[in-house]
Structure 1
Amino acid sequence: MRDLLVLSFLVAFLPLALRSPLCAFLLWSWGGMIAIQSHVYGFMLSVPVVQLFALISLVQLVMTRRGGQTAYWGGGTSIIMLLLILHGLMCALLAYSGLPRNWELFSNMAKTVLLCLIIPVFLTSRERLNIYVILIAISVSFHGMLDGLKYLSSAGNHNAHGIPKFGDNNHYAIVLLMVIPLLIYVGRHAERWLLRWGVIAVGLLTFLAVLATNSRGGLLSLIVMGLWLIMLSKRKLVGMALAAMLAMLVVQLAPDRWFDRMDTIKEANDDDSFMGRVTAWKRASAIAVENPVFGGGYHAGQFDGIFDRFRYEPGLLGFVETPDVSYAAATHSIYFEVLGDQGFVGLLLFVALLGNAFYNWWRIRRLARKNPLQLGWAHSLADMLSACLLVYAVGGAALSAAYFELPYYLVMLLQMVWVQVRDHASHSAAPNLALRRPQAHTAHAQPSDTP
């Protein structure tokens, strides 16, 4: 049945994608984020739906002349992404031999960067940016809505694990948290009350799905996100009141085992799971110390041969006593994952990408404050995007999610919001300059020697 539904969707939207490069691009993004292949079990498994829309989008992009439209400009974000993928290519080429997922992970990263580099071609207006934000919010919150409903129907006994694309329960919690600020933005700017309340309902269900993951990292990231949003809010008392209401909702719905699980956060030094992560960080940093420029290759630390070689190496964390781990495991940190895979240069580029995003957020706020009537939407969207990336930066410190595509899309969205704000500011200043120049010329005019 699901295969027939997906096939019907493909038949219905394929003509639209063939007619419009923008539609093809949106369907490409939507299919990837909702992981459409994970919802089929039969003959549609062999149909590359996402790749089909990607191919249509790229072919139309090459064949279509975009005369008269805004010139391509991805700014510093595009430059950093290009450097990141070129460096990643060298890391894959010079990786330790035998890494089973080396080229698979590089290929996935290259596809992500390719889509990000195309974003500035299509998202050239406020309306298109809003459409893309809604698309991402719907794609990810769809999964959260389902798990939130299951959590309610089971009286808090449902355990949410998400789909394979999102990883385990900890990864899933961070993915859901990253989309909640986008739902807040959509609900805040929705003109119809029915849509606004619908978005609020989806947001609450997504919040419940985060609780259903039983993720301690998810709880910490949720607290950080809440504090960040309250700090940015103009109505801090209202924000604190909403936070208190959500806390009361947790107390009423969450079972005792959830509180027992969260209570172990304060025992990190005695937690074998957490200390196992630190052991993996040691191994990743040891690989980077031996290969400072290009690292060991994608997921080198998870390969048995490399694990045995660096098993007892202290790396950069030799001052921390950790238990002996007898098997190769994931790095459990976006920062140490990149460090071990791509060396110190790769980590520098990765951190620069996130840092540049927050720099764009600061620039957007600085200019948008001067014209809140026309740029209030940009200020609001930039704040929500910064909250999404803060969740990723904090929650990802204990997760192997360096190559997940969503944060890269959000980074490029911030760049495009900045482009809109910058262009608006320059256009607003242009008429004023045009009016002032004749006055200045008249005041300083000199007699002409020519008749």
Structure 2
Amino acid sequence: MRDLFVSAVIFGLIPFILVNPVVGVLTWCWLGFMNPHKLCWGFAQTFPFAQTVAIATLVSLMAWKEPKRIPWTRETKTLLVFTLWMFVTTFFALNPEGAWEQWNKVWKIMLMTYVTMMVMNTPKRIHMLLWVTALSLGFYGVKGGIFTLVTGGQFIVLGPEKTFIGVRGGIALALNMTIPLMRYLQLTTPQKWIRVGLGAAMALTGLAVIGTHSRGGFLGALAMSFFLIMKTRRKFFYTLLLAATAYGILSFMPSFWAERMHTIETYEEDGSAMGRINAWLFAFNLAKDRPIGGGFECFRGWLFDRYAPNPNDVHDAHSIFFEVLGEHGFIGLGLYLALILMTWRSAGWIRKNAGGDSRTQWLADAASMIQVSLVGYMVGGSFLGLAYFDLFYHLVGIIVLCRVLLERHKAGEDMAIQDYRFF
């Protein structure tokens, strides 16, 4: 029954997608982040819904009467060069079969990032995109928070299998990136009952992060919470609220959770942590020996024999930065870091130039909270190999759109910049 329901919803949206690609982008976003088909038990789990929606969206885009322009900013140019560089490293990959399979996933993420920037180019569409993103991942935050409460934190919160959030580190990272987006929606929503609901969702999502038992997620939550206080309005109130919430959560969790978090300080005695360091050194040695890196899916035992300090301790990258370094070399890492830095600086520019004006304050709030999301991504991602997580590139695209809107507004163009709410 669940398979039929999800299939009916998605196929029921196809006619609307063919008429308006905005619906297609929102549906793609929902499928990519919530993965509703992965919650089914039968045929829907493996049916190519995302591919179907993407094709329908591209067909709709070709027939769309609105102008079709990619905003060519420093971020979009760098992303394009990074994507082309990944193709080059795939062509010369040491693990060709695995590399081409991964490339087939990554280029689709990049393509839909550009489609998103072409289509979601008005204030209301950006706001809708942020709502769909926050609700799609927030579903697992609320669900995971309730699960942690009911079970007393004894069991691990996980996302759907065979997805980016199917492991505890992955879902912890995604939820840390989602909490600031919920805060943005709370800041820009006039209805009190929605703001209260979002506040409860943020608290439950924070509890779900703790419930993943992920040490990287815990560190990401600490960093994200600190920057959330620094970047949001009503800092003193939220400092007290977060402190009280954190105390309640930490007091609630079982003793073995605290013991696991304590191993952060004694990583030398932890085999998992030392395995990560071995994988990082492997990536560095590989990139030093091979400037183009090893290509996608190069963290393999036969290559550890050649490049790892301990060839018998084979691990995945366990870091977005060392993943890119090992797979795409120092050039790839430079492009990736440049993309992060450019996005951060553009968000800072938006925050500086949009704040204080009631017409553009929502842009300042969006940029501030996306910066907080990026902190959660960078800190949590330092211990997890999710360099190609589509949420990161999604947020890059949203910052690009916000900057373009603000620049047009400052240039005096009439673009109804206040027309962004749909509640």
Query: Retained in 2: the 8 A contact 1:169–1:215?
Result: yes
The equivalent residue for 1:145 is 142
The equivalent residue for 1:296 is 294
Structure 2 CA distance for aligned equivalents of residues 261 and 299 of structure 1: 29
Deviations for 1:244-268, whole angstroms, at most 9, x for unmatched residues?
Answer: 1112221342122222221222112
Deviations for 1:306-341, whole angstroms, at most 9, x for unmatched residues?
Answer: 1222233xxxxxxxxxxx351421011111110110
The equivalent residue for 1:379 is 364
Cα offset for 1:14? 2.3
Cα offset for 1:177? 0.6
Query: Retained in 2: the 8 A contact 1:92–1:102?
Result: yes
Cα offset for 1:134? 0.5
The equivalent residue for 2:341 is 355
Helix, strand or coil: the match of 1:427?
coil
Cα offset for 1:89? 0.5
Q: Does 1:91 align with 2:89?
A: yes
Structure 2 CA distance for aligned equivalents of residues 415 and 240 of structure 1: 30
The equivalent residue for 1:170 is 169
Query: Retained in 1: the 8 A contact 2:17–2:24?
Result: yes
2:9 partner letter: F
Query: Retained in 2: the 8 A contact 1:3–1:41?
Result: yes
Deviations for 1:188-247, whole angstroms, at most 9, x for unmatched residues?
Answer: 221222222222222222111111111111111111111112222343321211121112
Which structure would you say has the larger RCO, counting Cα contacts within 8 Å and 6 or more residues apart? 2
Q: Please provide the CA RMSD for this pair.
A: 1.8
Deviations for 1:387-407, whole angstroms, at most 9, x for unmatched residues?
Answer: 001111111111111111111
Cα offset for 1:99? 4.5
Helix, strand or coil: the match of 2:296?
coil
Cα offset for 1:94? 0.6
Structure 2 CA distance for aligned equivalents of residues 170 and 286 of structure 1: 25
Q: Give the number of equivalent residue pairs.
A: 412
Query: Retained in 2: the 8 A contact 1:17–1:23?
Result: yes
Distance 1:220 1:413, change over 3 A: same
The equivalent residue for 2:58 is 58
Correspondent of 2:129 among 112, 128, 132: 132
Q: Does 1:47 align with 2:44?
A: no
Correspondent of 2:403 among 418, 423, 426: 418
Structure 2 CA distance for aligned equivalents of residues 363 and 142 of structure 1: 31
Structure 2 CA distance for aligned equivalents of residues 216 and 325 of structure 1: 25
Correspondent of 1:123 among 120, 124, 130: 120
2:71 partner letter: W
Gaps of 5+ in 1: 313-323, 430-451
1:202 partner letter: A
1:20 partner letter: N
Deviations for 1:75-120, whole angstroms, at most 9, x for unmatched residues?
Answer: 1121111101100000000111x44421122121111110111122
Structure 2 CA distance for aligned equivalents of residues 236 and 25 of structure 1: 34
Helix, strand or coil: the match of 2:263?
helix
Deviations for 1:415-440, whole angstroms, at most 9, x for unmatched residues?
Answer: 111111111111179xxxxxxxxxxx
Gaps of 5+ in 2: 415-423
The equivalent residue for 1:29 is 29
1:287 partner letter: L
Runs of 4+ in 1 over 6 A off after TM superposition: none
Cα offset for 1:282? 0.7
After TM superposition, the structure 1 = structure 2 runs for residues 372-451 of structure 1, keeping only pairs within 5 Å, are 372-427=357-412
Structure 1 CA distance for aligned equivalents of residues 46 and 282 of structure 2: 38
The equivalent residue for 2:245 is 246
Structure 1 CA distance for aligned equivalents of residues 84 and 219 of structure 2: 34
**Which range moved further: 86-95 or 20-29?**
20-29
After TM superposition, the structure 1 = structure 2 runs for residues 243-282 of structure 1, keeping only pairs within 5 Å, are 243-282=242-281
Query: Retained in 2: the 8 A contact 1:299–1:337?
Result: no
Structure 1 CA distance for aligned equivalents of residues 45 and 384 of structure 2: 29
Q: Does 1:201 align with 2:186?
A: no
Query: Retained in 2: the 8 A contact 1:178–1:392?
Result: yes
Query: Retained in 1: the 8 A contact 2:170–2:384?
Result: yes
Q: Does 1:101 align with 2:86?
A: no
Query: Retained in 2: the 8 A contact 1:74–1:415?
Result: no
Structure 1 CA distance for aligned equivalents of residues 96 and 319 of structure 2: 19
Cα offset for 1:139? 0.9
The equivalent residue for 2:232 is 233
Structure 2 CA distance for aligned equivalents of residues 224 and 11 of structure 1: 41
The equivalent residue for 1:437 is none
**Which range moved further: 9-18 or 349-358?**
9-18
1:232 partner letter: K
The equivalent residue for 2:17 is 17
Query: Retained in 2: the 8 A contact 1:74–1:416?
Result: no
2:331 partner letter: V
2:301 partner letter: D
Cα offset for 1:161? 2.2
Structure 1 CA distance for aligned equivalents of residues 50 and 72 of structure 2: 24
Distance 1:222 1:424, change over 3 A: same
1:41 partner letter: W
Correspondent of 2:157 among 157, 160, 163: 160
2:294 partner letter: G
Query: Retained in 2: the 8 A contact 1:367–1:425?
Result: no
Query: Retained in 1: the 8 A contact 2:304–2:311?
Result: no
Cα offset for 1:15? 2.2
In the superposition, the TM-score normalised over structure 2's length comes to 0.93
